[in-house]
Amino acid sequence: MSASDILSLELVLLAALLPAADSAEATQEHIQFHVIQISSFANHSWAQHQGSGWLGDVQTHGWDSESGTIIFLHSWSKGNFSDEELIDLELLFRVYFIGLTRETEEYASQLHFGYPFEVQMTAGCELHSSDIAKVFLEAAYEGSDFLSFQNMSWVPAPEGDSRAQSACDLINQYEGIKEIVHKLLTNTCPRFALGLFDASKVDYKRQVRPEAWLSTGPSPGPGRLLLVCHVSGFYPKPVWVMWMRGEQEQQGTQQGDVLPHADGTWYLRVTLDVEAEEAAGLSCRVRHSSLGNQDIILYWGHHLSLYLILLAVIVPLMLLIVLALWFKKRCSYQDIP
Ligand SMILES: *[C@@H]1O[C@H](CO)[C@@H](O)[C@H](O)[C@H]1NC(C)=O
Ligand SMILES: *[C@@H]1O[C@H](CO)[C@@H](O)[C@H](O)[C@H]1NC(C)=O
Ligand SMILES: *[C@@H]1O[C@H](CO)[C@@H](O)[C@H](O)[C@H]1NC(C)=O
């Protein structure tokens, strides 16, 4: 192992052990907030809108289209905005969705939009150490780039056809809308993103301990076992999970994707394909910032003996019950003369 290998190994370990500090610092230079809208138009009288808000890759907001209200997904999702300002924004989005539905239905045939169709939109801002680095608003029609908002006007996407040009010509007539969009992107978004980022730090400090358990997966072949180590409900995301024999890491260890739970914690599945007779003595080791230095270690053998213990308790118990019932029946027959 060269010195640089050792250094990079140390960095990896450091990143695994200090995930809270690491992720907070990484995002300090770079903050991004954006909203996503997906609108389905089934026919000229039926449309549905889905909306969500994101700080980097963490979803912070949803949109309840029934009631036309913002769903705040975390305790800190309001950032530092007052309830008044949030109610104003909510009203603005509600009017926007109603207006979009009505205008789209009115102009669909003129713009040659064929039902059913889907419109996707993303808009937001990026900040580098509190300065605006970039604002963006891009819309797609049926999955292809359609138009964007640039410097106070609507511009068709390079791959957009004459429909994109017609749509831009149409909406560029509304100066008031352009001013609102411009203000949302260059003023509201950066202010909100900064306040939200500060408020989210509560979460970066959060530590939730994982639970871990073992099982077998579908057999990879005759005489082989797929050992599965499940690690669930941890926060923050960085985690280290390895199949071990004693202190030796098993090279065949396969990591799944780290998957989200609805409560914001994470789940990971780590597997090892082994000869059935080699399974005994293997263990799954879990290292996570919430555990301090107390790694979770689960032994494969213990997992099996738990079943044996259960079996050893349940089988005699069942026998006893059957015997007891049998005796009771015999006694009651004898009682009847
Ligand atoms: C429009 O689409 C919706 C949803 O698919 C459907 O329930 C409704 O019957 C359609 N209406 C017309 C007039 O086609
Ligand atoms: C944006 O528009 C203004 C006036 O319409 C113009 O002066 C400016 O150069 C434009 N900026 C860019 C980056 O296109
Ligand atoms: C929220 O925080 C940001 C950044 O710290 C600040 O610019 C803004 O004025 C604060 N308050 C509101 C209501 O935007």
- Residues 58-90: tens digit of each pLDDT: 899 999 999 999 999 988 999 999 999 999 999
Is the pLDDT at 337 greater than 60? The verdict is no
Identity of the amino acid at 199 = A
Ligand 2 within 6 A of CB of 151: yes
Cβ–Cβ < 8 Å for 119, 41: yes
Q: Ligand 3: which atom is nearest the Cα of residue 85?
A: 13
Rounded-to-integer distance, Cα 141 and Cα 163, Å: 10
18, part of any domain: no
Residue nearest to atom 14 of ligand 2 (CA): 151
Same domain, 81 and 220: no
Could you tell me the pLDDT band of residue 22, with boundaries at 50, 70 and 90? very low
Looking at the CA of 116, name the nearest ligand: 1
Same domain, 197 and 238: no
Rounded-to-integer distance, Cα 35 and Cα 156, Å: 20
170, part of any domain: yes
Ligand 2 within 6 A of CB of 251: no
Q: Ligand 1: which atom is nearest the Cα of residue 43?
A: 1
Same domain, 48 and 168: yes
> Which residue is listed with tokens 């100066």?
175
- If one counts the domains in the chain, the total is 2
Cβ–Cβ < 8 Å for 156, 168: yes
Q: What is the percent of the chain where pLDDT is above 90?
A: 69
Q: Ligand 2: which atom is nearest the Cα of residue 151?
A: 1
- Residues 292-311: tens digit of each pLDDT: 999 999 999 854 555 556 66
Same domain, 235 and 253: yes
Same domain, 47 and 196: yes
Segment 218-222 shows an average pLDDT of 92
Look up the pTM and report it. Answer: 0.63
Rounded-to-integer distance, Cα 329 and Cα 323, Å: 10
Is the pLDDT at 254 greater than 50? The verdict is yes
**CATH number for position 184:** 3.30.500.10
Q: How many A from CA of 154 to the centre of ligand 2?
A: 13
Same domain, 198 and 287: no
Domain limits at 97?
31-203
Same domain, 160 and 38: yes
Same domain, 158 and 282: no
Same domain, 74 and 143: yes
**CATH number for position 240:** 2.60.40.10
Q: How many A from CA of 33 to the centre of ligand 3?
A: 14
Same domain, 47 and 191: yes
Element (H, E) at 83: helix 83-107
Q: How many A from CA of 185 to the centre of ligand 2?
A: 16
